[in-house]
Structure 1
Amino acid sequence: MPFYYHMQVLKESSVDLKMANPFRIYQMMMSKHSWKVQILTAGTLVGCSDVVSQQLVERRGFAKHDTKRTIRMTAVGLIYVGPVLGVWYKVLDKIIVGHSKTVAFKKMLLDQFALAPCFLACFLAIASFLGGHSPEEVWLKLKKDYKDTLVSNYYIWPAVQMLNFYFVPLVYRLPLIQIVALMWNTYLSWMANK
């Protein structure tokens, strides 16, 4: 159902939208359309990461901001990051069932050693390809940047994913990770576009 329908339901249920908690609205949308909301959240936050990369890391200034690049990075979040991670987290919950620390540790190991290497390579390749690089240039970029990116990944993500798998319900894992990943995606955007 469309977003405006849910806003009307909120209004009719005597909840004043001006006073409504944005997180409650987000929760309601997640309960009704979790897949769509997760993908939109991922796309939006990857796009925001590119803005942060261009403005704070590269210090381009708004006059020199590459809007097409931000749109490309948002598209990568929408068509790649959101769907892949959304499915991956569901698969992990089916492969490794439970909620103990041991289960979270096993999920983190699979996430970091089965998914992360391939996911990062594909992210860099897709972002570079959409940025207009030839297949040869994409391959050279991967040879140059992939190893450093993967090593950097291992400094950050094992601990974050351990907490994510242990404390966070499945439906909120992707949005939470994308919020934490705001800075990580800033780094990835910079790596993919430098």
Structure 2
Amino acid sequence: METGRRAVPRAREQRTWGRSWSRASLTWVSVLVMPLSSERGTGALMGAGDVIAQQLVERRGLRGHQGRRTVKMMAIGFCFVGPVLGSWYKVLDRLIPGATKAVAVKKMVLDQGGFAPCFLGCFLAIAGAMNGLSVQENWSKIQQDYVDALLTNYCIWPPVQIANFYFVPLNHRLAVVQCVAIVWNCYLSWKANRM
């Protein structure tokens, strides 16, 4: 009996320690990912994606690096991608509340079936306009790149978004997307700036 009584407090201690450790971990995770959950973080990661595209994909080297292009991608992240994605996740959470697997799949279908095609088209149009393309040139570039970019999107984002909608709280979803999007931003930068 003595052993049974001692085991209960230890179990409670372990459960309490586990909860406090989880809270502490979530607090540190929040501090680390909070900058990525904002427009500033999105702009910085869009810029990082462009740097990776120029240096690793296009192999421009430091002398051939186009700084203005990086600044343009950062501006698109600050002014368009961050605010639009952040708002979209809030709207999506209101449209389809909950956190079950079925809800995550529904959110992913709406996100990838409705939002992603429109968002991608707008992104390509904005990038083209910022690159100084005329309306006709921009339209031709969108027609050339859109289907390929959308198919590539569907190879990457559906599994990421299901996990994001199922496991990640609303206030950290943009951060998760932006962490994965470093590779995606690299691809988008390459695609948007390929003439």
* Compared CA separation, residues 26 and 68, structure 1 to 2 (3 A): farther
In structure 2, the residue matched to 1:119 is 119
Which letter does structure 2 place at the counterpart of 1:24?
A: W
How far did 1:119 drift? 0.4
Using the size of structure 1 for normalisation, the TM-score is 0.83
* Compared CA separation, residues 48 and 28, structure 1 to 2 (3 A): closer
* Compared CA separation, residues 190 and 29, structure 1 to 2 (3 A): closer
* Compared CA separation, residues 76 and 191, structure 1 to 2 (3 A): same
SS of the residue aligned with 2:59?
Answer: coil
Taking the TM superposition and a 5 Å limit, the aligned residue runs for 1:42-191 are 42-191=42-191
Which letter does structure 2 place at the counterpart of 1:115?
A: F
Taking the aligned partners of 2:108 and 2:135, their CA distance within structure 1 comes to 32
How far did 1:132 drift? 1.2
SS of the residue aligned with 1:114?
Answer: helix
Count of residues paired in the alignment: 169
**Is 2:31 aligned against 1:27?**
yes
Query: Residues 101-124 of structure 1: CA distance to partner in whole angstroms, max 9, x if unpaired?
Result: 000000000000110001001111
Question: CA RMSD for the aligned pairs?
Answer: 1.9
How far did 1:26 drift? 5.5
Query: Residues 51-99 of structure 1: CA distance to partner in whole angstroms, max 9, x if unpaired?
Result: 0000000000010100000000000000110000000000010000111
How far did 1:25 drift? 8.5
Structure 1's unaligned 5+ residue stretches are 1-20
Taking the aligned partners of 1:180 and 1:143, their CA distance within structure 2 comes to 26
* Compared CA separation, residues 28 and 68, structure 1 to 2 (3 A): closer
Taking the aligned partners of 1:93 and 1:37, their CA distance within structure 2 comes to 16
Do the aligned partners of 2:33 and 2:172 also contact (CA within 8 Å) in 1?
no
Which letter does structure 2 place at the counterpart of 1:160?
A: V
Taking the aligned partners of 2:77 and 2:124, their CA distance within structure 1 comes to 12
Taking the aligned partners of 1:161 and 1:53, their CA distance within structure 2 comes to 23
**Is 2:38 aligned against 1:38?**
yes
Larger radius of gyration: 2
How far did 1:24 drift? 3.0
Taking the aligned partners of 2:30 and 2:135, their CA distance within structure 1 comes to 40
How far did 1:28 drift? 8.1
How far did 1:128 drift? 1.3
How far did 1:165 drift? 0.3
Taking the aligned partners of 1:122 and 1:89, their CA distance within structure 2 comes to 17
Which letter does structure 2 place at the counterpart of 1:176?
A: V
SS of the residue aligned with 1:103?
Answer: helix
How far did 1:37 drift? 5.0
How much identity, in percent, do the aligned residues show?
53
How far did 1:27 drift? 2.2
